[in-house]
Structure 1
Amino acid sequence: MAWGLIREMGHVSIQTNDVEGSIFDATQLLGLRVTERTANEVYLAANSVHHELVYVESEVNGIQSIGLIAQNGDALREIRRRVESENFKFVSHTAVSAGVQDGFSFIGPEGWIFEIYTGMQKSDPGLQGFGPDRYGHINFHPRDPRSMMEFLRRIFDFRLSDVIGDDYAYFMRCNPDHHGIALIAGGGTFHHHAWQVQSIADLAKLGDRLGRAGRELIWGPVRHGAGHNIAAYYVETSGAVVELYTDLEQIYDDEREPVIWAEDENWWNMWSNRRTDDFRTFGIRSVTELKTFH
């Protein structure tokens, strides 16, 4: 169970200039279901909740918000107090997403919008043929990963699981999952959203679906060193990367010291030291940086 102010990762909201293409990817490749559709938003989920992924119709592709679920109302109020004390700019003082009871959103470091909430509605997943168990984590590439790491610890009580190099990368958790947010030094882009599946066989089936659709995996399956998960990746219509993973390390010792890796140590793939040259070049920016905030 979670120990701090955040219980679990909530959702990723993505602006897309091809909403139908994004829905195809999420339903036919990833295996999510549409739970609600409004004039310009589409809510999707794998788990028995209202949403874990949101697509917003737009002229440009970009990350609209990163959703985090607070432990309870007291935790939500404490996060709001911390946000106010550091003078972060509020986007909304009330919940923005459909299907949640209470919440607010604000602009954090480097222009990333965080939506914090409680009380998400349940949604019956029905009898699906394939798809992940749940949304698990995100990976993005801040220009200043140390500053972002300290922000996540200070405002939300995230803890460090692994540290890579000298301020190069940080893997951070809010519950027993090895990481809910991974930070790797870069150019200020969001790299991927990740979804838990039952076994490595599900990664092979993803490859089959991609092949039939004329698409491809951009990396994997691989066995990561940091997190130990087996993972495979593809690029969705918006330009963001999607990861399917299984066998992620679970950390039940709340006081476990972070694992330290050298930057050039093979923390990325325990089966090989090779990485695709363009893997980290994929990704999309925050809508605040694109100056098209919805």
Structure 2
Amino acid sequence: MALRPPVLNPPFNITRASHVVLTVADLAASRLFYEEVLGLVVTLQTDDALYLRGVEEACHHSLVLRQSKDAPCCARIGLRVRTEDDLRIARDYFAGHGCAAEWAEVPYQGLTLHVTDPFGNRMEYCAHMPVEPRQITRFHHHRGGSALRIDHYQLLTPNLRGALDFYMDLGFLLTEYVGPDDEQIRAVFLQRKGNPHDLVFFNGDGPRLHHFAYMVPETQHLLRACDIAGELGFGRQVERGPGRHGPGHALFVYFRDPDGHRVELFNTHYQVLDLELEPVRWDPADPAVSFPWGYPARGRWFEQATPFEDTPVRETAVRPTPMTLEKYLAEEA
């Protein structure tokens, strides 16, 4: 099957990855992790919620943590659209495609649309938030990894081709993909804001949120975040890295927060602004795809992820068979 051409005039204008809403067991423990290790800025804390943003971000929040007694989950992942008119068009579009789409009252956001896409991913679209002072030049307030801004989400889905087609119809551009050829695609990287990705889909049991990611200023901030994680008792929650990605080329480190949600810090992006740029295919048989240097990830990095709230997880018909650390060490032995 040939790759889809881009849709240059989508039905409404999505601009970027915006925010993620997670449930947690202990707001105090979560605040310690996200504020001191990642370096996020606390915009507001209430009795049952915590709103955070990156040091470069002016909008009210890019991460919302809600206290819950239930098992930790992802309530929504957020996408921004250009205007509220785009939201109204989006509601009609999604309803016309059989998706649950309804207006929602959400604190510290303007008009907000809740959508469950055809693959079970629970999305939240908005056009406005209150504006807060940027902290980018308040250097004496910077903590941990100095997380600048939210960049992307990686989702697991058993219907990878369907997700690719659905989101390309919404104007997302395919920048990179993983597969031995154009028929057997295992992962896709989709963007709206001009860098390699806003949404990443990998084949797997889903729908589940594999991770969300923040950009940091420099490589040293990845190491500083790891050092502070170790000092504060989160050292064993440094799950993968520091390392180098093949797709995207970023330097990275992955953490698991106190509730097991996975978050990535990374730097070094490139721009994807021109339409004549062809998507880059990465062959999964090439070791440079999963670990350009160092060791591959542990099996749990590929298998474990955060479920969406009140959403059943469906098994994929095609089981991923990545090179894991366990396999690698067994072969070396």
Q: Are 2:20 and 1:12 aligned?
A: yes
Q: Distance in 2 between matches of 1:77 and 1:255?
A: 31
Shift of 1:288: 2.1
Q: Distance in 1 between matches of 2:295 and 2:230?
A: 25
What do residues 100-138 of structure 1 show as CA deviations (whole Å, max 9, x unaligned)? 222211111332211111111111144322321111111
Shift of 1:254: 3.0
The range that moved more, 63-72 or 3-12, is 3-12
Map of 1:162 onto structure 2: 176
Map of 1:212 onto structure 2: 231
Amino acid at match of 2:245: H
Q: Distance in 1 between matches of 2:191 and 2:274?
A: 12
CA 1:41/1:254 → structure 2, altered by over 3 Å: closer, same or farther?
farther
Map of 2:242 onto structure 1: 221
**Structure 2, gaps ≥5 residues long:** 1-7, 314-333
Map of 1:107 onto structure 2: 116
Rg: which structure is higher? 2
Q: Distance in 1 between matches of 2:142 and 2:193?
A: 29
Q: Counterpart of 1:267 in 2: which secondary structure?
A: helix
Give the conservation status (yes or no) of the 8 Å contact 1:112–1:288: no
Q: Distance in 2 between matches of 1:244 and 1:44?
A: 15
CA 1:75/1:254 → structure 2, altered by over 3 Å: closer, same or farther?
farther
Aligned pair partner of 2:163 in 139, 142, 148: 148
Q: Counterpart of 2:306 in 1: which secondary structure?
A: coil
The range that moved more, 170-179 or 277-286, is 277-286
What do residues 158-183 of structure 1 show as CA deviations (whole Å, max 9, x unaligned)? 11111111131111101112011111
**If the length of structure 2 is used for normalisation, what is the TM-score?**
0.81
Shift of 1:39: 4.1
Q: Counterpart of 2:252 in 1: which secondary structure?
A: strand
Shift of 1:272: 4.2
Map of 2:283 onto structure 1: 262
**If the length of structure 1 is used for normalisation, what is the TM-score?**
0.91
Give the conservation status (yes or no) of the 8 Å contact 2:284–2:290: no
Q: Are 2:96 and 1:85 aligned?
A: yes
Aligned pair partner of 2:53 in 42, 45, 57: 45
Amino acid at match of 2:39: G
Aligned pair partner of 1:31 in 26, 39, 52: 39
What do residues 37-79 of structure 1 show as CA deviations (whole Å, max 9, x unaligned)? 3442221111121000001111220000011000223322332
What do residues 77-104 of structure 1 show as CA deviations (whole Å, max 9, x unaligned)? 33222101112112x314x432222221
Amino acid at match of 1:122: V
State the identity %.
24
Give the conservation status (yes or no) of the 8 Å contact 2:246–2:290: yes
Q: Are 2:133 and 1:124 aligned?
A: yes
Give the conservation status (yes or no) of the 8 Å contact 2:22–2:74: yes
Amino acid at match of 2:27: V
Map of 1:76 onto structure 2: 87
Give the conservation status (yes or no) of the 8 Å contact 2:151–2:215: yes
**Structure 1, gaps ≥5 residues long:** none
- Structure 1 runs of 4+ aligned residues shifted over 3 Å read none
The within-5 A match list for 1:225-240 is 225-240=246-261
Map of 1:274 onto structure 2: 296
Map of 1:192 onto structure 2: 211
CA 1:222/1:3 → structure 2, altered by over 3 Å: closer, same or farther?
farther
Amino acid at match of 2:187: A
Amino acid at match of 1:84: A
Give the conservation status (yes or no) of the 8 Å contact 2:157–2:204: yes
Amino acid at match of 2:162: S
Map of 2:328 onto structure 1: none
Q: Distance in 2 between matches of 1:79 and 1:271?
A: 43
Q: Distance in 1 between matches of 2:289 and 2:272?
A: 18
